[in-house]
Amino acid sequence: MDRPTGEPGPGATPAPDAGGPDAVAGLVALRGRDDAFPDLVGAPLRAALTDRADAALRALFGNPGPGLALIAVGGYGRREPAFGTDLDLVLVHDGKRGSDALATIADGIWYPVWDAGVGLDHSVRTVEQAVSVADGDLKAALGLLEARLVVGDEALAARLVEALRTRWRARAHRRLPELAEFQAERARRVGEVAFLLEPDLKEGRGGLRDVQALHALAAAWVAEPPGERVRAAQQLLLDVRGEIRRVAAGRDQDRLLLQDGDAVAAALGYVAAGAAPGAEQPDSFALAHAVADAGRAISWTWDTTWNQVSGALKARSRWRSARPIRRPLDAGVVEQDGEVQLARDADPAGDPALVLRAAAAAARAGIPLGRYAIDRLARDAHPLPDPWPPAALDALVALLAAGDNAVPVLESLDQVGLLVRVLPEWAAVRSRPQRNPYHRYTVDRHLIEAAAKAAQHTREVDRPDLLLLGALLHDIGKGYPGDHTDAGILIVEKLGPRLGLPPDDVDVLVAMVRHHLLLPDSATHRDIDDPATIEAVAQAAGSIRVLGLLHRLTEADSKATGPTAWSAWKARLIGDLVARATAVLGGGPVPYAGELSERQLALLALPDEHLVQVNKLPDEGMYEVVVLAPDHVGLLAVTAGVLALNRLDIRRASARGADGRALLQAAVAATHGQEPDPRRLLADVRRGLEGRLDVAGQLAAREEAYATRRPWRTPGPPRATFDDSGSRTVLEVRAPDRAGVLFRIVRALAGVGIDVHTAIVATIGLDVVDAFYIQEADGAEVVGEARRREVSEAVAAALMTSDTPAPEA
């Protein structure tokens, strides 16, 4: 806590006998700004910081006599300080000193701490007052539960600790539900350590606060203290947090920022494999993997422990029979006290499907696997035979079909090693981070979430079992070297027969893995009106069954990726593409919209020289912007720039022309939810065409004003490649996402005499992936190596910025 208002600032004279400048100098190292303890990391660093603070406080405390004790609480009380940590102190007294005498002693401690620039949370209490504060403030109670004597009256300190813990146990039936709700609210607000790209190691779900909560349950005598696995996870998070604070020069920083990953990894010995001695490179990916695993271990332990505690608390509050009620759920599986347990005659060693059958029963009932049951299964269950018995495959499908209820059950299997025992291939993706803002989960959790989302569509496909299995396995290759799709195909080719699937089903599952990106890539990177696009999708899918499964897999995969990966616009594009490809697979002709629709011909026939229309699309936040103007070199570039200046994100744009007139149609997303103003757009387009609007200059100024520097990510060079698989030549451009990227590309193409027929715009993470259906100004194809190199180099040059690497030769 900062110095209270009205108290002297740094440099104030300490109270008499306060310990003098030596004590202040001893505290300065805690700030983390003076390269203190450069050779210490982890537990030795925390011990050194604790010892330094303890020694300084003992000197400041002096020898005031009995009836007074200086108590450390919070992280300092637990001997877990990091650079920049506040000192949480309570000066406990027996009530026999007057207020002036207490104030003199307290000032002799507090002021030197402030003068050292160290944060301080302080109070002066009797034992009774401290207990009263804990009764009214949960956070204070949690800190006081782990109070530690720094210096002073040992008997008084012991009386304080005993009084606080006795009170905590006596009120456990009221305080523990309050603690659980506090934990849940913090998790909703901060997110999960295991799955955030930049996790908060202290406040996040699965972070250090959760370990503190587990100790609070143990202090209430309702649970065992955290076991070795949680203690190891806690030490890891403390080690990482210590180096985060060092990098942050002692600032109050508990979030592992991507830009700090290499420095923290290097300090803690996470280095890339295969480097020669002395040439090691820090491996921030391995660090993130370890942090994710630690967060999952802590959060799962909290969940399972609280399930047991809450069940016990409910049981105490109501009458119950002498014998617990056990309700059968499946063979060898029962429900007891709101948990799934094993029946008395269950045989984990002799019943190979029992693990999955118990998990499926828990998911169907929406209740957790009991800790006793899961520990027994982990101890006694054997690996499944090859091939699996049909009952095991049925149980796995039933588990996945439970949707969201399956997620915590699968997490429980994972945490005790049963999921890897059932599917050994899972080990390579377990807790594997995806260092990409597009993805919100680790690879394994993404696969589980995808299966849960796929369960919502099992009635829409003819093989729901294959949909669920395909969702669970579509990214299984991400834990292996090489392209993840190629690796996944090889894995599923071997795994399918082991699961007991017949060859035809294995072929379908392999096709789902091979083509799990087919629909999103085709719909968002290519023109779905192009017959070549439709034919390519139909040919790749090969059958209506596979196409239908891919359709629902795509939606599930996208929704499990992150909040921006699926939208009504994307759903409509993919739905239209699937409908057209299904018609082809059904033996019908390739749908072809023709060059100009009746509506487009009618627009081109309008008498207005310039016209802008805005039409609401059925997708939320999406609009069609229609621009009619005399055919003009650079019209699409000017229109793209004007739309960008008006904060409209272009998703698709097409240009058509007839009799010297041009018609542009763009599907745009209104980023701030405000409907585009056609009058303003028309005025800006006219000014741009007449050279009175500096589109390029204004976009450059906006980019500079709103640029977000990300030192952890060096943008790759822009790439422009040609694809001749469509009915027209396609130029695909990949580049960092910046203001006005589309404007720059189209302007560069116009500058070298290239006409853009259709532009398909997509954003993946921090990059744009745009496809341009192009032709020469006279309508001819863009051919010849030299000509294509000229076009590619013009686009790359237009996208170059000061921090963009040069494109590869």
Find the mean pLDDT for residues 14-23: 50
- How confident is the model over 311-329, as a mean pLDDT? 69
Mean model confidence pLDDT for the chain = 88
The residue-averaged pLDDT of 460-472 equals 97
pLDDT confidence of residue 558: 95
Give helix 741-751 / helix 695-706 axis angle, nearest 10°.
150
Q: What is the mean pLDDT of residues 405-428?
A: 96
pLDDT band of residue 103 (cuts 50, 70, 90) is: very high
Mean pLDDT of 422-432: 95
Name which of 481, 56, 28, 78 is nearest 274 in CA terms: 481
**Pick the residue with more confidence: 330 or 567?**
330
Per-residue pLDDT tens over the stretch 527-547 = 888 888 999 999 999 999 999
Q: How far from 153 is each of 55, 70, 91, 615, CA to CA, in Å?
A: 16, 8, 11, 78
Summarised one tens digit per residue, pLDDT across range 55-93 is 999 999 999 889 999 999 999 999 999 998 899 999 999
Tell me which of 807 and 577 has the higher pLDDT: 577
Reported as a single tens digit per residue, the pLDDT across 144-179 is: 998 999 999 999 999 999 999 999 999 999 999 999
Confidence of residue 653 (pLDDT cuts 50, 70, 90): confident
Calculate mean pLDDT across residues 10-35: 60
pLDDT of residue 275: 65
Instruction: Give the pLDDT band of residue 801 (cuts 50, 70, 90).
Output: low
For range 224-234, the mean pLDDT: 95
pLDDT exceeding 70 applies to what percent of the chain? 91
Closest by CA position to 310, among listed 138, 210, 221, 177: 177
Mean pLDDT within 220-243: 96
* pLDDT tens track for 707-766: 544 444 555 688 899 998 877 899 999 888 777 788 889 899 999 999 888 888 876 656
Q: Which residues pair with 769 in a beta bridge?
A: 734
More confident residue, 778 or 788: 788
Structure tokens at 549: 């499964």
| Main-chain dihedrals φ then ψ at residue 26, nearest 5 degrees | -70, -30
- Residues with Cβ within 8 Å of 393's Cβ and at least 6 positions away in sequence, in order, are 499, 500, 501
4 has a pLDDT exceeding 50? no
pLDDT at 805 > cutoff 70:
no
Q: In the prediction, which pLDDT does 1 show?
A: 40
Segment 170-190 mean pLDDT: 94
Q: Are 194 and 442 in contact (CB under 8 A)?
A: yes
Find the largest Cα–Cα distance for the chain: 101
Is residue 415 predicted with pLDDT exceeding 50?
A: yes
pTM equals 0.84
Rounded distance between C-alpha atoms, residue 663 and residue 640, angstroms: 13
- pLDDT class for 488, splitting at 50, 70, 90? very high
